[in-house]
Amino acid sequence: MAQGWRGKEAIEMATTTGVSKEEFKNAKLYKSVHGIDMEEFYTSGHRTCQGCESALVMRDFVKASGPRTVVTGATGCMYVANTSYMTTPWVVPWMHTQLGGGGASAVGMAAGLRALMRKGKIPDEKINVINFSGDLGGGDMGLGGISGALQTDYDMLIIIYDNESAANTDIQATNMTPWGAQTTFTPTGSKKRIMHDKWKKNVAPMLAIGHPNCKYVATACATFPPMDYMNKVKKALSIGGPTLIHTMDPCPKGWDYHPRYSGDLGQLAIKTGIFPLYEIIKGEVNYTYDARKTKRVPVREYLEKQGRFSHFIEDDFEFVQSRVDEMWNDWEIPGVAPIKGWLSVRR
């Protein structure tokens, strides 16, 4: 009964992944879950939902980056949940910025620190600058600012935490909401079953391809495979320059599932291949969990565990499966770049 779906496999995975490469020899990557730092810099007492994955994304990035970190957060549920009513669970300094202001605030913070260090007003040391924006704040509204930030030469990490909706204001659709999902903007009805008929925006490759000077772009899930996300944060911070991580955050509130299953849904999103896991290091794609190698799990197993897809009929499951198959089978770089998937030269 208490047997998690991960079971032994998770422990095995937890002790075998995270092998450090020569180029990340200074990143101090975690090699075992037992080696993870125990101290918290984002601690208990926050107003997040039960089972919130995004809270783990926050806790883990600051755990990986350590106490010499400053964080800026764009408006979103992870802002409101963590500084409302004059209390906070943050140990490290944190600053709120506007919904679309993630990129600009990180640039400003990094530039300010560099200037203060140059003038000798603060000691010259490595201080990690991290911005934390949601799928609406980062992937939609703040995209321009993030694009600008990725063209600078400041050291900073931008994390887009993607819970596939504007979850703070009670679940409105964003461009990162998956096809067919119910939100308050896109309820199902008797006349039209599928209100959200757009495919999810592919934001990480878009930013990687469009910003060739950005040395590190990755996708991640906070808890699966164990340590993978934290090591990606360490890699991003050690490689230098502006970097980006896009995380997949199951959201019990908006996806309408029992909070107990957040970890399972993150795992299923990766194993079904609906959310490909990779890192792009100086233009080279490295699959950190290749769903093809474990024989992709049918997407139905992922979709049917969420209330937001409870209106799906057989055709809908098949349609989503066909799009995911296409992504892995037909794209030039499977799961990442859809050049051959939909783009072609007119003859």
Q: How far is the CB of 85 from other proteins (least distance, A)?
A: 6
Residue 35 to residue 57: CA distance in whole angstroms: 18
CA atoms within 13 A on the CB side of 293: 6
Short-list 168, 198, 229, CA closest to 13: 229
Residue 249 to residue 259: CA distance in whole angstroms: 12
Q: How far is the CB of 22 from other proteins (least distance, A)?
A: 28
7 binds other proteins per the rule CB under 8 A: yes
At 343, the amino acid letter reads L
Q: How far is the CB of 111 from other proteins (least distance, A)?
A: 21
Stretch that binds other proteins, among 50-58, 142-150, 205-213, 286-294 (CB under 8 A): 50-58
Read off the DSSP letter of residue 171: -
The 3-state DSSP class for residue 191 equals coil
Stretch that binds other proteins, among 19-27, 34-42, 121-129, 285-293 (CB under 8 A): 34-42
Residue 273 to residue 276: CA distance in whole angstroms: 5
Question: Which residue, 42 or 216, has its beta carbon nearer to other proteins?
Answer: 42
Residue 106 to residue 110: CA distance in whole angstroms: 6
347 binds other proteins per the rule CB under 8 A: no
Question: Which residue, 256 or 290, has its beta carbon nearer to other proteins?
Answer: 256
Contacts with other proteins by CB under 8 A: the residue count is: 77
Q: How far is the CB of 164 from other proteins (least distance, A)?
A: 13
52 binds other proteins per the rule CB under 8 A: yes
Q: Which residues contact 33 (CB under 8 A, 6 or more apart)?
A: 14, 15, 226, 227
Question: Which residue, 313 or 345, has its beta carbon nearer to other proteins?
Answer: 313
Q: How far is the CB of 266 from other proteins (least distance, A)?
A: 10
Among 286, 310, 322, 329, binds other proteins (CB under 8 A): 310
Site for other proteins in 254-283 (CB under 8 A): 254, 256-265
Question: Which residue, 200 or 308, has its beta carbon nearer to other proteins?
Answer: 308
Angle between helices 143-150 and 102-118 (to 10 degrees): 30
Site for other proteins in 106-165 (CB under 8 A): none
Site for other proteins in 166-205 (CB under 8 A): 167-171, 182, 187
Q: How far is the CB of 161 from other proteins (least distance, A)?
A: 13
Helix residue ranges per DSSP H, the chain: 7-16, 53-65, 77-83, 102-118, 143-150, 203-210, 228-239, 252-255, 262-271, 299-303, 314-329, 339-342
Question: Which residue, 275 or 312, has its beta carbon nearer to other proteins?
Answer: 312
Q: How far is the CB of 248 from other proteins (least distance, A)?
A: 15
Question: Which residue, 260 or 340, has its beta carbon nearer to other proteins?
Answer: 260
Among 26, 67, 240, 282, binds other proteins (CB under 8 A): 67
Residue 339 to residue 270: CA distance in whole angstroms: 22
Q: What is the number of other CB atoms lying within 10 angstroms of the CB of residue 38?
A: 5
313 binds other proteins per the rule CB under 8 A: no
